[in-house]
Amino acid sequence: MSRLIVVSNRVGLSRDVGGGAVGGLSAAITAALRQNQGVWFGWSGETTPQYTGKLSLDRVGDVTVAKVDLEPQDVEDYYNGYANNTLWPLFHNRLDLTNFSRAYASGYARVNQRFAEALRAMIEPGDTIWIHDYHLIPLAAELRKLGFTNRIGFFLHIPWPSRQLFTTLPGHEKLVAQLFDYDLVGFHTAEWLSALTGYLQAELGVKMGDDGIVEACGRKTRLQVFPIGINPADFAPENASEASIDAQRRTEKSLAGRQMIIGVDRLDYSKGLEERFRGYEQYLENHPEAHERVFMLQIATLSRDGVEAYQDMRNRLDAIAGHINGQYGSLDWVPLRYVNSGYRQDELAGIYRAARAALITPLRDGMNLVAKEYVAAQDPADPGVLILSRFAGAAAQMKAALIVNPYDQDEMAEAIQRALTMDLTERMLRWRELKAGLDAENLDHWWQGFLDTLAEQPRGDRRIMTVAGHGRRAVT
Ligand code: F6P
C-alpha cells in the first residue's frame, strides 16, 4: 500500500489518534490517516528566532507527525498575513477587509518553499501527497520544482470567490497556475468549483470538457466536488461518552424549563455572528410571549487573535451581547449566553442535544460541519430543528433544514419562531431526511472518494508539451 503524506497548516493529530480532534479539518484528516499509514506534516504553531527547517517527529500509531517551527516574521507574513489577511477575507467576499500587502505575498511564497524543502527528505517515490487548504496552494508547484512526480492532490476547505473578486488579487494568474501542479483539486460544492471554472473560461479562455479534466496554464488537472461529511456515529446519543452525558445534563439543568437555541462557531466575521445576534434580537422584539421562556447559547471560540479584524469583531460582539441582555434580560433570565471558551467534540454533542434549535447562519462558509454535527447528535424521537444559512456550503446538501438569508433579520426571527413551535411530526420528518444525507455522504465517503479519484489519475508530471505539427499533448 502506498503511503499517504498529508500536509496542512496546522497539525491536529495529537498523541491520541483515536479521539478528541478539534475542528472539521483535523477531524477529517485524522480519519483519513487512521486508515492509511503515513505522515502528517505542518506548522507546529510555534516560533523559533531563526528558521532551521528542523522537524520534530512523533509517532502516533501508524502515523508519523512531523512539525516545523516558523520564524515570527513568517507567522506575520504567511499565517496572519497572506493566509488570513489576504486570501481568507477575499475568498469570503470581504474585499473591505482584504490587505494586498506584497510583504504578505512574499512571506506566503517563502513559507511554501520552506515547507517543500522540509518535506523533501520524507517523500518516497510511491507516496501519495494530499495538501489541504488556502495556506498551501503553491506547495505542489514547489515540490514539482524539486523534481517530485508523485501524485499530489489538493483540497480547498473554504469557498472559491467569484471572478470579479478574485481578479482583484495581485498575482491571481500565478495562484491559479499553481493549482495546475496538482493532479486533483477538490471543492466542497459545485458553486465553489464553478466560480473557478468561470474564471478559467473568462480570463484564460479555457474550454471545459465534461470529464472534469481541465487543461490550463500548460498543465492538465482534474477538478471535482467532494462534499466533506462527518462520522455521525461520533455524535449519536447511543454512543455518548460520560463527558457528553455530563455536558447534556449540565446544560439541561441550566435550561430551567426554557427552550435553548444553540450556535457554535469559531469567532470569525464570516460566521455572521453580528447578524445572528440581530436576528435573535428581532425575534425577542417580535415575540414578547417568548421572553423568559427561551434563550440562546452562542459558543464562539477565539481565533486568529493576531489579526486586527478579529479583535475588532470581538469588541463589537461583546457590545451587542451586552446590549441584548441589558435590554431584555431580567433578574433570573439571561436571553443571550455568550461564551468564548472551546469545548471538546463529545461535550458539544451533549450540548447540541439539549438545544431545541441550532442557528447556524454564516455569511459565507466552505461547508460548515457544526450544522451536520447538530443533526447527528439529536435524539431521533425528539429532534431539534436546524436553521441554516443559504450561504453555507452545507445548504447544498441539507435542504430539509429551515434555510434562511442571514442578512435578513426578519426572516431569521421568523425561522426561530417556526423552529421553536414546530410539531414533533415535522421535526422528525425533517431530521430523518437530514440524517439520511449525513449517513450517505459521511466522512469516510469524503476522504475515500478523494483518494480513490487521486489514485486513478495518471502519475507524475502533467505538463502539456507542444509538439510541432501535432498540437498539444499531455506528458503523463
Ligand atoms: O477551514 C478553514 C480553516 O482555516 C482550516 O484550515 C483550519 O483548520 C481552521 O479553519 C481553523 O483556523 P486556524 O487554524 O486559523 O485557527
Q: Is the pLDDT of residue 433 over 90?
A: yes
Which residue, judged by its Cα, is nearest atom 14 of ligand 1?
A: 10
The pLDDT tens digits of the residues spanning 444-462 come to: 999 999 999 999 998 765 6
Which residue, judged by its Cα, is nearest atom 1 of ligand 1?
A: 157
Mean pLDDT of the chain, nearest integer: 93
Distance, CA 190 to ligand 1 centroid (Å)? 21
Separation CA 401–CA 171 (nearest Å): 39
- Which residues are 259's β-sheet partners? 294
Q: Parallel, antiparallel, or unpaired for β 63-70 and 213-216?
A: unpaired
Distance, CA 366 to ligand 1 centroid (Å)? 11
Distance, CA 164 to ligand 1 centroid (Å)? 25
The pLDDT tens digits of the residues spanning 138-162 come to: 999 999 999 999 999 999 999 999 9
Separation CA 299–CA 141 (nearest Å): 39
Instruction: Name the phi and psi angles at 438, rounded to 5.
Output: -65, -40
108, 78 in Cβ contact below 8 A? yes
Distance, CA 53 to ligand 1 centroid (Å)? 23
Q: Which residues, 6+ apart, have CB-to-CB distance to 323 below 8 Å? A: none
The pLDDT tens digits of the residues spanning 39-55 come to: 999 999 999 999 999 99
What percentage of residues in the chain have a pLDDT greater than 90?
Answer: 87
Q: Which atom number of ligand 1 is nearest to the Cα of residue 135?
A: 6
- Whole-model pTM: value is 0.94
How far lies 61's CA from each of 31, 306, 363, 443, in Å? 13, 34, 39, 20
Which residue, judged by its Cα, is nearest atom 8 of ligand 1?
A: 25
453-460 own/partner pairs: CB under 8 Å, 24+ apart: 453/184, 453/222, 453/224, 453/226, 454/128, 454/130, 454/151, 454/153, 454/183, 454/184, 455/128, 455/151, 457/151, 457/183, 457/184, 457/222, 458/183, 459/149, 459/150, 459/151, 459/183, 460/149, 460/150, 460/151
The C-alpha cell that represents 260 in the structure block: 435553548
Q: Which atom number of ligand 1 is nearest to the Cα of residue 79?
A: 15
- What is residue 122's DSSP assignment? T
Amino acid at 16: D
Q: Which atom number of ligand 1 is nearest to the Cα of residue 26?
A: 8
Which residue, judged by its Cα, is nearest atom 6 of ligand 1?
A: 133
The sign of the torsion formed by the CA atoms of 375, 378, 381, 384 equals: negative
Q: Which of 117, 62, 112 is nearest to 82 (CA)?
A: 112
Say which range, 2-11, 82-91, 424-433, has the weakest mean pLDDT.
Answer: 2-11
The pLDDT tens digits of the residues spanning 205-236 come to: 998 888 899 999 999 999 999 999 999 999 99
Separation CA 169–CA 176 (nearest Å): 11
Helices then strands, counting H and E runs in the chain, come out as 16, 17
- Residues assigned a catalytic role: 157, 365
Q: Which atom number of ligand 1 is nearest to the Cα of residue 23?
A: 8
Distance, CA 156 to ligand 1 centroid (Å)? 11
Determine the residue of 10, 135, 155, 369 to mutate for testing ligand 1's pocket, defined as the one with the most ligand atoms within 8 A of the Cβ atom: 10
Determine the residue of 25, 132, 301, 367 to mutate for testing ligand 1's pocket, defined as the one with the most ligand atoms within 8 A of the Cβ atom: 25
Instruction: Name the phi and psi angles at 396, rounded to 5.
Output: -65, -25
Which residue, judged by its Cα, is nearest atom 15 of ligand 1?
A: 304
Distance, CA 267 to ligand 1 centroid (Å)? 11
Separation CA 277–CA 457 (nearest Å): 47
Q: Is the pLDDT of residue 242 over 70?
A: yes
371, 356 in Cβ contact below 8 A? no
Q: CB under 6 Å to ligand 1: residues?
A: 10, 23, 25, 133, 157-158, 303-304
Say which range, 292-301, 304-313, 347-356, has the weakest mean pLDDT.
Answer: 304-313
Q: Which atom number of ligand 1 is nearest to the Cα of residue 134?
A: 6
